[in-house]
Structure 1
Amino acid sequence: MPENYTIYDLARDCGVSVATISRVINGSDAVSSKTREKVQQTMKAHNYTPNVFARGMNKMSTKIIAVFISDIANPFFADIVKGIEETCRRYEYRIILSITNNDMAQEKKELELMMQKQVDGFIICGSRPVADTNAEYLREISNKHPVIMVNSRIDGGEKLYSVLVDEKTASENALETILSKGHYKRLYVFGDTVWQTTKDKIEAAEKVCKKLSVPFDSDSLFQCPHTLEAGYEGAVRFLKQKPVTPCLVFCVSDQIAVGVLKTLGKFGMKTGEDFGVLGFSNISLCQLVTPSLTTVNQYMKNLGEQAANLFISSQNGIILDEKVFYSDYELIERESTV
Structure 2
Amino acid sequence: MAVTINDIAKEAGVSRATVSRVLNDSGYVKDETRQKVLKAIKELNYTPSAIARSLSTSKTNTIGVIVPEINNPFFGEIIKGISQIADEHNLNIILCDTDENMEKELKALKLLKEQRIQGIIITPTSAETEFNSEYLRTLENFGIPIILVDGHVKYANFSGVFVDHIKGAYEGTEALIKAGHRKIAIITGRMNSRPAKDRLIGYKKALKIYNIPINDEYIFHGDYQHEKAYEATKKILKMKDKPTAIFVSSNIMILGCIKAFREEKIHIPNDMAIIGFDKLEVLNIIGMNISFINGPTIELGRTGMKMLIDSLKNKKSREIRRITLLPDIVLKGSEKYIEK
What is the TM-score with the length of structure 2 in the denominator?
A: 0.73
Q: SS of the residue aligned with 2:75? A: helix
Q: How many residues align?
A: 276
TM superposition shift of 1:250: 1.0
1:317 to partner: Cα distance: 1.5
Tell me if structure 1 keeps the 8 A contact 2:236–2:242: no
Alignment of 1:120-269 (within 5 A): 120-125=118-123, 128-133=126-131, 136-137=136-137, 140-141=140-141, 144-154=143-153, 160-181=158-179, 183-191=180-188, 192-245=190-243, 247-269=244-266
Shift of 1:322: 5.2
Distance 1:130 1:289 in 2: 37
* CA distance in structure 1 between the aligned counterparts of 2:193 and 2:177, rounded to whole angstroms: 25
Aligned to 2:67: 69
Q: Which amino acid aligns with 1:284?
A: E
Match of 1:337 in 2: 335
**Is there any run of 5+ residues in structure 2 with no aligned partner, and where?**
1-56
Structure 1: stretches of 5+ with no match in the other structure: 1-58
In the superposition, relative to structure 1, how do residues 198 and 255 fare at CA in structure 2: closer, same or farther (>3 Å)?
Answer: same
**How far off its partner does 1:129 sit?**
4.6
Q: Aligned partner of 1:106: which letter?
A: K
Contact 2:248 2:277 in 1 (8 A): yes
Inter-partner Cα distance in structure 2 for 1:243 and 1:83 = 44
Using the aligned pairs only, state the percent identity: 21
Deviation, 1:209, is 1.2
1:194 aligned partner, one-letter code: N
Partner of 2:91: 93
CA contact (8 A) 2:152 2:194 kept: no
Query: Deviations for 1:220-254, whole angstroms, at most 9, x for unmatched residues?
Result: 12222222333323222322334524x22111101
Contact 1:279 / 1:295 at 8 angstroms: preserved in 2?
yes
Which whole-Å deviations, capped at 9, do the CAs of 1:175-234 have from their partners, x for residues lacking one? Answer: 1233133x2121111122232211111111112112223232331122222223333232
- Contact 1:278–1:293 under 8 Å retained in 2: yes
What is the aligned partner in structure 1 of residue 109 from structure 2? 111
After TM superposition, where is structure 1 displaced by more than 3 Å over at least 4 residues in a row? 126-130, 134-139, 153-158, 318-322
Map 1:289-308; keep pairs closer than 5 Å.
289-308=286-305
Across the aligned residues of Structure 1 and Structure 2, the Cα RMSD in angstroms comes to 2.5
Task: Indicate conservation of the 8 Å contact 1:265/1:271, yes or no.
Answer: no
TM-superposed CA distance for 1:155, in Å, is 8.3
Distance in 2, Cα, partners of 1:163 & 1:137? 22
Of the three residues 313, 316, 324, the one matched with 2:313 is 316
Q: 2: CA distance between counterparts of 1:240 and 1:129?
A: 35
- The 8 Å contact of residues 105 and 125 in structure 2, kept in 1 or not, is answered as no
Find the aligned partners of 2:124 and 2:185 in 1 and give their Cα distance.
24
TM-score, with structure 1 as normaliser: 0.74
Shift of 1:285: 2.5
Given that residues 230 and 256 in structure 2 are in contact (C-alpha distance below 8 angstroms), is that contact kept between their aligned partners in structure 1? yes
- 8 Å contact 2:124–2:152 — kept in the other structure? no
Q: Is the 8 A contact 2:130 2:154 kept in 1?
A: no
Please give the alpha-carbon distance, in whole angstroms, between the structure 1 residues aligned to 2:85 and 2:242.
47
CA contact (8 A) 2:100 2:125 kept: no
Change in 2 beyond 3 A, CA 1:337/1:266: farther
Separation in 1, partners of 2:79, 2:240:
40
**Cα contact 1:66–1:119 (8 A) shared by 2:** yes
Counterpart residue identity of residue 198, structure 2: D
